[in-house]
Copies of this chain bind each other. A is one copy, B any other.
């Protein structure tokens, strides 16, 4: 476990463990997300097959999207072919709204079929211009993305392999479609529509290390393999896993 600059007085002001401000806390009020209903009239439905792109990095951001069903991933590639998955997207999630000019990442369908609603950027901007509540909603959405990104930064910079996998599974449990906020955990099924390589590229590690960490979690009885994902058997064990190992 890497211990440099270990701050002695680690007070209550700590970084949220996973992506969410309060993973099992308040039911997330999402102030005025209803405001986006005004946008619905401009939306057109689209269906994608697995691996297809909603948009590519560098492309002019002409459209934004809302996931209706299925899952997607937001992918960054560098010149060497190294890949970083910034985030996974589930039904209800927005993407492309926080791009300026061009998209900085690609968005790709993860499941066999993904249904999205596509909004023309011009319509979004025009509506935000006229209706302050829409602008506020978009600002709020961007702030939420930023908060999630920062939690991921913390995970990538300061957590050991085991901790990352455990945090990832807990986040998936909280975000997956059908996740019940405030669920006590235990016997909870968590769908993992992405392959190991995707998880690895999200967590900044190799797929082998992901596999090993999950095998260890199974041996510890924290999780159990299940069709298309895992089942959380011991939430406390999952939360504690990997602490005390960082290089």
A residues contacting B by CB (< 8 A) are 2, 4-17, 21, 56-59, 76-84, 86, 98-100, 104-106, 125, 128-130, 132, 135-136, 138-140, 142-147, 149-150, 152-154, 156-159, 197, 200-204, 206-208, 243
In the complex, the answer to whether A6 meets B153 with C-beta atoms within 8 Å is no
B156:A5 contact, CB within 8 angstroms: no
Q: Please, how many angstroms separate the alpha-carbon atoms of A147 and B103 in the complex?
A: 10
Pair B81/A8 contact, Cβ less than 8 Å? yes
- The residue from B83, B153, B243 contacting A80, defined by CB atoms under 8 A apart: B243
Out of B106, B138, B145, B149, name the residue touching A13 (CB < 8 Å).
B106
User: Are the C-beta atoms of B144 and A100 separated by less than 8 Å?
Assistant: yes
Given contacts A99-B143, A150-B105, contact A13 B58 (CB under 8 A): yes
Q: Is the CB of B86 within 8 A of A6?
A: no
Give Cα A202 to B152, complex, Å.
Answer: 13
Kindly state the separation between the CA atoms of A10 and B132 in the bound complex, as whole angstroms: 41
Q: Oligomeric state, in number of copies?
A: 2
The residue that A207 contacts in the complex, of B4, B10, B98, with Cβ under 8 A, is B4
Residues of B within 8 A of A206 (CB): 2, 4
CB-based contact A153/B154 at 8 Å: no
Contact B14 A79 (CB under 8 A): yes
Pick from B80, B99, B143, B204: contact of A100, CB under 8 Å: B143
Closest B residue to A210 by beta carbon equals B4
In the complex formed, the residue of B with least CB distance to A11 is B77
- Residues of chain B within 8 A of A100, CB atoms compared: 140, 143-144, 147
Q: How far is the CA of A10 from the CA of B77 in the complex (A)?
A: 7
Query: Is the Cβ of B129 less than 8 Å from the Cβ of A130?
Result: no
The reply to whether A104 and B150 contact each other, CB–CB distance below 8 Å, is: yes
Q: Which B residues touch A158, using CB under 8 A?
A: 78, 82-84, 204
A154: chain B residues at CB < 8 Å are 76, 78, 82, 84
Q: Which residues of B contact A10 (CB under 8 A)?
A: 77-81
Does the CB pair A57–B7 fall under 8 Å? no
The 23 sampled A-B contact pairs (Cβ below 8 Å) are A2-B82, A2-B206, A6-B83, A7-B83, A10-B81, A13-B57, A13-B58, A13-B77, A15-B57, A15-B77, A15-B78, A82-B154, A84-B154, A86-B150, A100-B144, A132-B135, A135-B136, A139-B142, A145-B146, A149-B153, A156-B156, A156-B157, A157-B203
